[in-house]
Amino acid sequence: SSSSSSSTKESESESYKNGPNTAATGGAGIHVVATSNGSPYLNWQTRIMYRTFLDVQPGSDMLHFTRLLHRRTDDELMAEVPTVRVDSLHAACDVWCEFPVADRPDAIKKWLRTSDSRRGAQHYLLIETDYVWRRAMPAPPPNSPAIAFHFDYIDPKFPKLPEVIRKLIPEEKRDSVRVEDVMRSGPAPVMIKRSDLVRLIDEYERIAAAIEADDVAKERLGWVREMYAYDVAAAVTGVKHDVQEPSATTLIAQPPADRAAGNASLYHYTWGATYLDANKNAVWSWDKRPYVDTKHVRDPRSHKPRMPPADAGDRGDLTLQDGAKVDGALNAILTDMIGLMRGAIDRLDALPDEPGCGWKKDEPACDFGCVAGELCVANKPWVAETKTETREAAAAAARESPLNPVGETDEAGDGDGDGD
């Protein structure tokens, strides 16, 4: 690690428990924090999310943005997205591991020791990379509890889970903290004061590690196990969260599960959407999961998601993959989200394949000259020529395969729905 000796001393003294420097702002405002391991999958998402953040930030309560990178080397976004890198807990997760999000609690704890975490905003907004900003998040009143989102797939009372949850609660607290006290949420999106995050971070880290060390807990809690770790930690430490329902939240809307954005500040594209006609033929499809290659990160304009067909809501014969009817409201919210993504992609620069950045075979690890534990100020250039020929070739190929979920439509990205 390139962490300085002063950072080591901070770790030993638990300096993350110190308060923020609020002199500059009087304690108001929001510091947005997104965690990532720097994989191409997350970096493609990050570039879009950060571009849409810049679109909505001016004049808002959102004072600062940090990408918290849990990784042992720089990655190719260091000069584009404000980043603090901390060493990953599991070195294998820098390339591939079963569950990279297991490193998140440790990374957040390390970040709380940094000066970046004390830039003056009273609230942290913890988010993930697969978000799209639709409007700025307002700061809550100073004495508000943390704000979280109700995920319906999180429930400590699901079959076979109560005994696992109970085991994660410290023995001395099992009489006072019940399974029913554990919220149905997770660590993102969460709006939380530094003091509250500090209160729960040790338990969050401990519980996440305990789950990873317990094969039964891992199997039963599944891919959302780190979300449960946060929820149990909040209950154990008594950090209250206002868990907002999808229809009323200021946090996220999740198309296609949600057909209206309401007061949500962001879209979360955790689920894909496929429009099927009466014969079960796909007429349009979108999913984040194909975007896993360096080509998507480095030349995103050649691989834009397609807009939904403009007339999809009026046809009357279309359904989603789960059988739900495609109506005007659903098509409108997906059109808005994909349109914001495409608009962001149109303004992203190409990134270089040479010398590369450690993902393809034989590529050297990135080195922007950044210092671990500090907000990166890149002192080495990393600039690519715009790959016009590559982009045009990809666009032509995509037009021949109109159902390709990662194809190109119109180069202008004007959202005219020509992918139908």
Query: Model confidence over 194-215: pLDDT tens digits?
Result: 999 999 999 999 999 999 999 9
List CB contacts of 350: < 8 A, sequence separation 6 or more.
Answer: 298, 299, 301, 384, 385, 386, 387
pLDDT at 333: 99
pLDDT at 361: 80
Radius of gyration of the chain (CA): 22
pLDDT at 369: 86
Local confidence pLDDT in tens for the 420 residues of the chain: 344 334 443 333 355 565 544 333 444 799 999 999 999 999 999 999 999 999 999 999 999 999 999 999 999 999 999 999 999 988 888 877 788 889 999 999 999 999 999 999 999 999 999 999 999 999 998 889 999 999 999 999 999 999 999 999 999 999 999 999 999 999 999 999 999 999 999 999 999 999 999 999 999 999 999 999 999 999 999 999 999 999 999 999 999 999 999 999 999 999 999 999 999 999 999 999 999 999 999 999 999 999 999 999 999 999 999 999 999 999 999 999 999 999 999 999 999 888 788 888 888 888 888 999 999 987 766 544 333 343 344 344 444 433 434 443 333 333 333 333
pLDDT at 382: 55
Letter string b/e over residues 127-150, b meaning 16 or more CB atoms within 10 A of that residue's CB:
bbbbbbbbebbebbeeeeebbbbb
Please state, in angstroms and rounded to a whole number, the distance separating the CA atoms of residues 102 and 99. Answer: 6
pTM of the model: 0.86
Residue 283 in tokens = 């007429």
pLDDT at 149: 99
Domain parsing of the chain, residue ranges: 5-244, 276-351+393-420
Query: Model confidence over 326-377: pLDDT tens digits?
Result: 999 999 999 999 999 999 999 999 998 887 888 888 888 888 889 999 999 8
> CATH for 5-244?
3.90.550
Q: Report helix, strand or coil for 35.
A: strand
pLDDT at 16: 58
